[in-house]
Amino acid sequence: MKRLFTLFAMLLMASISLTAQEILTPKAPDTPRINGAKVYGNYPGSDFLYRIPATGVRPMTFEAVGLPKGLKLDKETGIISGVVKKAGEYNVVLKATNSLGTCERNFRIVIGDKLALTPPLGWNSWNCFERKVTQEQVKAMADAMVSSGLADYGWSYVNIDDSWQGLRNEKSKVLMPNYKFPDMKELTDYIHSLGLKAGIYSGPWIQSYGGYLGEGCDNPDGKYWWIEKGMHHPDYRFTDPEKKRRHVENWYHVKYSFAEIDAQQWADWGFDYLKYDWNVIDWYHLEKMYKALKDTGRSMIYSISNTAPYGIAPKLAEMAHCWRTTRDIEDTWESMSTIGFGGQDGWAPYKKPGNWPDADMLVVGKVGWGKKLHDTQLTPDEQYTHISLWALLASPLLIGCDLTQLDDFTLGLLTNSEVIDINQDSFGYQASRFLSTEEEVIYVKPLDDNSIAVGLFNLGTQSRKIGFRPIDLGMIEPQTVRDVWRQKDLGEVTFKETYEVEVAPHGVVLLRLYPGITQDQPMGYTRR
């Protein structure tokens, strides 16, 4: 009883509401630690690029024992590159060494027909730069991903959203960039030189959501009526003085799709990710772009946007690596909590390695949607809830803020190795809702190290105690309780004891219990 009281007291002290921007993530140790995913997929014969994410004091050297034929490692940067022609699974041991020691990690390379074996981690331009994004800004974000240390935790994709599009080439009919992106190949080469990946945006209609040229056209020569009539901004964004033609005349099934030549151009430029802003009933263009990307032979993640309904999940899972389950997120509690707690559970049967229902971008840090940047409107507690929930849901994690203006608090949110481990877990399970009321939710997620992640969420406006019994989660022996955000073991609890912790308003306590469930098949989950 005394032990249980001590544990409860420790948890109570740890769960005081974050009235200020309290940084819970401890500083990474000086000794090496390899972070990020434990498995990585790539197509045979396609360019392979992986940057070993590792924290610890520099200088640091790297080893990769057991690399398949065709790959090479830069021992100073930790960048693995090359081409593997033979399909198969290759078990590799990654090593990172500095003056204080060596860290090893098992790493599985899967060369086959699947990509995105863990949820993508990266950055997207829309929530901070919107239509104002430029090539130089994207390069600055890539630089910041490395200099801030984000790349050392597995963050790797640097994605251009809508607004890069210019006119189609008169001869090839390929969609070319506007003046804001003078050299796409130079841009992707630069991003790749840092060991990072590059993403691009498109859609099947005459006009994108942002008012730029889309993939489709009603003219076989690739010319657009609104360009010919001069109804455009200098960067080829549609301008409609009547404010009513956009939906009627520019978003529909077009006569000509240039999917094949556009996809090949993106591959030739060196892009690794496509965000395809699509209509949920437009199966023709969904499949057409899927085949076009596959035919390039390049390993490009296919991410569908937006607001997919449950009924089309089987079809999406056949083609897309990621698909948006919601409308665009905003930096408010109402938006974030409605998306996170209101509609994600139904996607769990379709979430697995290679298929990731997407709850939209992270709205932490300085955001602005092309307007003046401002600090997120989410409170500190709400931001911890945001990151914890997206990690438990195994949602893709795409940062939406300006990476050159990261403050220490935001950096702490994005560089907690144990939180990232929950998101990047190789099982690929979406957390299961164990308890749900109007004011509290408990999510449970089995992990590949035989531990259990447990998220205790307070949806109310007053602090409250939230509890459970480990036995009700399927655990049949005493459990060590670990505070994931603070990366600290809190003590042991028997499996029949009621476990309670005080949770702040709109806040979360994210725990890991181990040894967790010791049986081969976790209760309530099916191996896939």
Is residue 21 pLDDT above 80, yes or no? no
Q: Are 299 and 167 found together in one domain?
A: yes
Q: Angle CA(224)–CA(171)–CA(161) in degrees, nearest 5?
A: 55
pLDDT of residue 6: 41
Cα–Cα distance between 444 and 434 in angstroms, integer? 6
pLDDT in tens, 155-197: 999 999 999 999 999 999 999 999 999 999 999 999 999 999 9
Q: Are 302 and 449 found together in one domain?
A: no
The answer to the question of residue 527 being in a domain is no
Which structural domain, as residue segments, surrounds residue 394?
121-423
Cα–Cα distance between 200 and 122 in angstroms, integer? 13
Q: Are 467 and 442 found together in one domain?
A: yes
Answer positive or negative: Cα dihedral of 489, 492, 496, 499. Answer: negative
What long-range pairs does 16-23 form, CB within 8 A, spacing at least 24? Answer: 16/502, 16/504, 17/381, 17/463, 17/504, 17/505, 17/507, 18/379, 18/380, 18/381, 18/384, 18/504, 18/507, 19/380, 20/380, 21/380, 21/407, 21/409, 22/380, 23/408, 23/409, 23/412
pLDDT of residue 255: 87
Q: At what angle do helices 135-147 and 184-193 cross, to 10 degrees?
A: 0
pLDDT of residue 10: 45
List the structure tokens of 326. Answer: 């919601």
Is residue 223 pLDDT above 80, yes or no? yes
Mean of the pLDDT values across residues 358-382? 96
Comparing 525 with 505, which gets the higher pLDDT? 505
Give bridge partners of residue 102 from the DSSP assignment: 97
pLDDT of residue 528: 46
The answer to the question of residue 521 being in a domain is no
pLDDT in tens, 115-154: 999 999 999 999 999 999 999 999 999 999 999 999 999 9
CATH number at residue 207: 3.20.20.70
Q: Which of 362, 393, 423 is the last residue of a domain?
A: 423
The answer to whether 200 touches 266, Cβ cutoff 8 Å, is yes
**Domains: count for the chain:** 3
The answer to the question of residue 72 being in a domain is yes
Active-site annotation holder among 161, 235, 272, 277 = 277
**Percent of the chain clearing pLDDT 70 (strictly above):** 92
The answer to the question of residue 524 being in a domain is no
Helix (DSSP H) and strand (DSSP E) numbers for the chain: 13, 31
Q: Are 205 and 275 found together in one domain?
A: yes
List the structure tokens of 394. Answer: 């195994």
Give bridge partners of residue 39 from the DSSP assignment: 108
Cα–Cα distance between 222 and 408 in angstroms, integer? 48
Nearest Cα to 152, choosing from 82, 73, 62?
A: 62
Strands of the 452-458 sheet, one edge to the other: 432-436, 440-446, 452-458, 508-514, 479-483, 488-493
Band (249; pLDDT cuts 50, 70, 90):
low
The answer to the question of residue 211 being in a domain is yes
- Peptide bond preceding 159 in cis form (omega within 30 of 0): no
Q: Are 130 and 84 found together in one domain?
A: no
For tokens 């009547």, what's the residue? 242
Q: Are 349 and 315 found together in one domain?
A: yes
Answer positive or negative: Cα dihedral of 262, 264, 266, 269. Answer: negative
Average pLDDT, the chain: 92
CATH number at residue 93: 2.60.40.10
Rg over CA atoms, the chain: 23
CATH number at residue 486: 2.60.40.1180
Active site residue 328: yes
pLDDT in tens, 442-488: 999 999 999 999 999 999 999 999 999 999 998 888 999 999 999 99
pLDDT in tens, 418-449: 999 999 999 999 999 999 999 999 999 999 99
Active-site annotation holder among 328, 375, 448, 449 = 328
pLDDT of residue 245: 63
Give bridge partners of residue 230 from the DSSP assignment: none
Q: Which of 423, 448, 469 is the last residue of a domain?
A: 423
Mean of the pLDDT values across residues 313-340? 96
Active site residue 277: yes
Q: Are 356 and 484 found together in one domain?
A: no
Find all residues with CB under 8 Å of 69, minimum gap 6, and list them: 84, 85, 86
Amino acid in the structure at residue 300: M
Q: Which of 423, 441, 471 is the last residue of a domain?
A: 423
pLDDT of residue 244: 61
The answer to the question of residue 519 being in a domain is no
Mean of the pLDDT values across residues 20-44? 95
pLDDT of residue 1: 45
Mean of the pLDDT values across residues 219-225? 91
Q: Are 50 and 144 found together in one domain?
A: no
Q: Are 509 and 379 found together in one domain?
A: no
The answer to the question of residue 526 being in a domain is no
Q: Are 136 and 285 found together in one domain?
A: yes
pLDDT of residue 180: 97
Q: Are 289 and 245 found together in one domain?
A: yes
Helix, strand, coil distribution of the chain in percent, nearest 5: 25, 30, 45
**Percent of the chain clearing pLDDT 90 (strictly above):** 82
The answer to the question of residue 446 being in a domain is yes
Q: Are 274 and 395 found together in one domain?
A: yes
DSSP letters, 235-299, are TS-B--TTS-SHHHHHSS--SEE-HHHHHHHHHHHT--EEEEE--TT-HHHHHHHHHHHHHH-S-
